[in-house]
């Protein structure tokens, strides 16, 4: 699903579900589009497609609940991911300003090459959108149990999305700031290490945000984009929800 107003992106969502859940899912996506805090859309697009490729089943990344303010940990997280902190932080600022050339929110993610800082996404207005994302009922149950009161559906969606992104060779990490004015929680995730859940990542009330995928120069962009769009990825287990950082 994606919704827009006067051509500007408002919100989007995608899921792999079984046949019995199609109507329910379509209904919930329309409801989500119409209740977005970013505004009332004048257009909602929905696409329902059969999964054509054999899905890849994979464990989700573990989640680290970061209690420190983002300003105290972001630089360290960038270092762990081999992203130069000054470059990482400059893209964080860009997300808060609106990363499209006109300062608006993009529908998809930026792809940024490290160490050059060059933007590799072919369309700088739209970015690259990942799709074909699913989670098994067993993995969802594990996630809900382990996250307990910290579980939200947003966490589920974001964790599946970034676990797919981080499974691709030559990805170094992904930074995400929601574009919803009332959702100030975001994350930085690092392949094989985890999803670092960051609170108060942006000022309350700001309708800006976005995603940056940091990659090294060995990454082949067209194949990566095809992977993000076309290859079904289904999370089938969840390692754990932790309150201490895995380093330090
Ligand atoms: N593929 C690529 N980029 C996307 C996608 C996608 N499927 N969906 C969203 N984006 C980009 C797009 O530029 C949006 O403006 C931006 O990300 C933010 O999207 O509690 O709510 O749907 O741990 O606003 C993460 C924290 C919440 C969850 C993320 O993102 C938690 C969120 P939003
Ligand atoms: Mg949003």
pLDDT tens profile 13-47: 999 999 999 999 999 999 999 999 999 999 999 99
Each residue's pLDDT tens digit, 121-177? 999 999 999 999 999 999 999 999 999 999 999 999 999 999 999 999 999 999 999
Q: Please report the pLDDT score of residue 248 as a whole number.
A: 76
CA of 199 to the centre of ligand 2 (A): 16
Q: Please report the pLDDT score of residue 247 as a whole number.
A: 84
Residue nearest to atom 18 of ligand 1 (CA): 178
Report percent pLDDT > 70 for the chain. 100
pTM of the prediction?
Answer: 0.97
Each residue's pLDDT tens digit, 90-121? 999 999 999 999 999 999 999 999 999 999 99
CA of 248 to the centre of ligand 2 (A): 32
- Is the CB of residue 197 below 6 angstroms from any atom belonging to ligand 1? yes
Average pLDDT for residues 172-201, to the nearest whole number? 98
Q: Please report the pLDDT score of residue 128 as a whole number.
A: 98
Q: Please identify, by atom number, the ligand 1 atom nearest to the C-alpha of residue 211.
A: 17
CA of 177 to the centre of ligand 1 (A): 7
Average pLDDT for residues 68-92, to the nearest whole number? 97
Q: Please report the pLDDT score of residue 155 as a whole number.
A: 98
What's the CA gap between 21 and 80, in Å, rounded? 40
- pLDDT interval class at 86 (50, 70, 90): very high
Check pLDDT > 90 for residue 192.
yes
Each residue's pLDDT tens digit, 206-234? 999 999 999 999 999 999 999 999 999 99
């Amino acid at each position: 699903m994606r919704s827009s107003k006067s051509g500007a992106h408002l919100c989007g969502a995608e899921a792999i579900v079984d046949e019995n859940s199609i109507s329910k899912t379509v209904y919930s996506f329309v409801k989500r589009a119409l209740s977005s805090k970013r505004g009332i859309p004048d257009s909602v697009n929905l696409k329902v497609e059969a999964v054509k490729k054999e899905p890849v089943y994979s464990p989700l990344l573990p989640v680290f609940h970061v209690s420190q303010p983002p300003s105290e940990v972001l630089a360290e997280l960038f270092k762990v991911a081999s992203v130069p902190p000054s470059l990482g932080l400059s893209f964080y600022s860009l997300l808060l300003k609106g990363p499209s050339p006109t300062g608006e929110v993009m529908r998809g993610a930026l792809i940024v090459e490290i160490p050059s800082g060059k933007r590799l996404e072919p369309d700088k207005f739209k970015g690259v959108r990942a799709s074909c994302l699913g989670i098994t009922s067993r993995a969802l149950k594990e996630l809900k149990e382990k996250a307990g009161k910290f579980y939200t559906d947003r966490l589920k969606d974001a964790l599946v999305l970034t676990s797919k992104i981080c499974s691709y060779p030559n990805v170094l990490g992904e930074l995400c700031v929601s574009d919803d004015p009332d959702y100030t929680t975001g994350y930085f995730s690092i392949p094989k290490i985890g999803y670092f859940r960051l609170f108060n990542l942006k000022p309350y009330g700001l309708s800006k945000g976005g995603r940056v995928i940091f990659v090294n120069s060995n990454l082949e962009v067209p194949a990566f984009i095809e992977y993000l769009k076309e290859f079904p990825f289904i999370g089938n287990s969840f390692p754990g929800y932790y309150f201490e950082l895995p380093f330090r």
